[in-house]
Structure 1
Amino acid sequence: MTVELRAGPTPAGAPALDLRPWDDTGIQPLIDIYRDPALRRWTRIPVTGVEDAMHWLELQRDGWRTGERLSFAVRESDRIVGHVVVKRSAAHDDRAEVGYWTAAEARGRGIATRALETLTDWAFTTLAGLTRLELLHQIDNRASCRVAQKSGYTYHQTLPARPPFPLDGHQHVREAPR
């Protein structure tokens, strides 16, 4: 399945974003992006070299094969600046979880919000039976809380800490349009 999504340029002049499934051209960008200590703090799978990047990319490809992890590289002017994903299990096919990260140099420019909005619209129009998307973040990740709110995800509840997350977390929810 070839899926390409686009968030057009903004009136303020921010360039368009292209969202495409990950491929092997992402190996070196992943290694470079994962050198950021802030990103490593919020992600669970370390990427420190080529072998780790290849493993990470294989997880993304497996997710597309099973339909349980539909992930996209977020590109700005053909440079990878982020990642967005919809995670869906057969046990709860009416709901899914979304996640995202941005490269250090891309933060603070609305890229995560624009990419998440694009992914959200796509998920609700493409994934049959989907009625609810959930976004989880650790309670001390204030930037993710702001992205959730700006993307139309409302705070739902605080969840207790559980491995691999050492702190409580927020759950934000967005319901499918009616």
Structure 2
Amino acid sequence: MLHAAVSVAKERRKKEWVEEKCKFAHAKREHWKKNVVWQMLQSKWKDAETSWSLQDQTRHVAEHKSKQLFLLAESSAFVAAFQMIVLYEQSMPGPSDQWFHPAFLAIWGALSTSVACMCMIIMFVSTSLAIFILQKSSNDAMANVCKFTAGFPTSYR
């Protein structure tokens, strides 16, 4: 009888010890999973931040280029207007009749105006393209983070 009680006690202690070790191993495994998931999430977040930083830099460059193109268009329009005024004044009849001036004035004015319009069109297209690229890359970066986190249980998010 004593021998049976001792063996039952040993079996119970052994079973408790195994359960304790299993609980400890399970807790350790869960902690490790959370750690690994957390590290991967941090890595993806850093990638997204880097992407957003590059987008900000691209946006600043695009804004700078747009400002430069706008100033170029503005200055070429001003130069075109100034040249048209000067050529118009020179084309007025004076002591020496110069008949080629009105035609020259029309051609020069058209060229100057077209250069100014082209600069404005280039500015508009480059700004629109930069905005489109920034929106696409921002959406892609956020989609990558969302895709990455979608596969994990909500307890890890």
TM-score range, shorter chain: under 0.3
Q: RCO (CA 8 Å, sep 6+): is it higher in 1 or 2? A: 2
Q: Give the structure with the higher percent strand.
A: 1
TM-score (norm 1): 0.19
TM-score (norm 2): 0.21
Q: Give the structure with the higher percent helix.
A: 2
